[in-house]
Amino acid sequence: MPGDHPSHVAQFIAEVLGGPNTYSTVRGGHPHMITQHLNRHLTQEQRRRWLELLLASADATGLPDDPEFRSALVAYLEWGSRLAVLNSQPGAAAVVDAPMPKWDWGVPGGPYRG
């Protein structure tokens, strides 16, 4: 991965969890993120390792440890990483007008607000 990948991931996840819309403004939002995964042939093993590293980074950087935040973070990372694997397989295509996911917690009906 390119050296700037961690900062792009941080911008994307921050926006998904309610932070500034930097990723959408600078990088092109969810459609751009999908195009970055096309034809990468990601595996479940790679996905699990990526998730493990992200959660270790969350601990190392001091992100909140409370159950509600961590539950929302893990739920989004599981959902998003599984979507990345699907979008990395042959034949996948980016949806040009795909909305940026918005993840929340404590909302009836689930955490995803499309």
pLDDT value at residue 107:
56
pLDDT value at residue 5:
87
pTM: 0.82
Domains located in the chain, CATH noted:
5-113 (1.10.490.10)
pLDDT value at residue 24:
95
Burial of residue 94, with CB atoms counted within 10 A of its CB: 0-12 exposed, 13-18 middle, 19 or more buried: middle
For 54, the token pair is 């992200």
Whether the per-residue pLDDT at 112 is higher than 90: the answer is no
Question: What span, in angstroms and rounded, lies between the C-alpha atoms of 63 and 2?
Answer: 24
**What is the per-residue pLDDT across 21-46, written as a single tens digit (0 to 9) for each?**
999 999 999 989 999 899 999 999 99
Whether the per-residue pLDDT at 78 is higher than 70: the answer is yes
User: Contact 94/34 with Cβ under 8 angstroms?
Assistant: yes
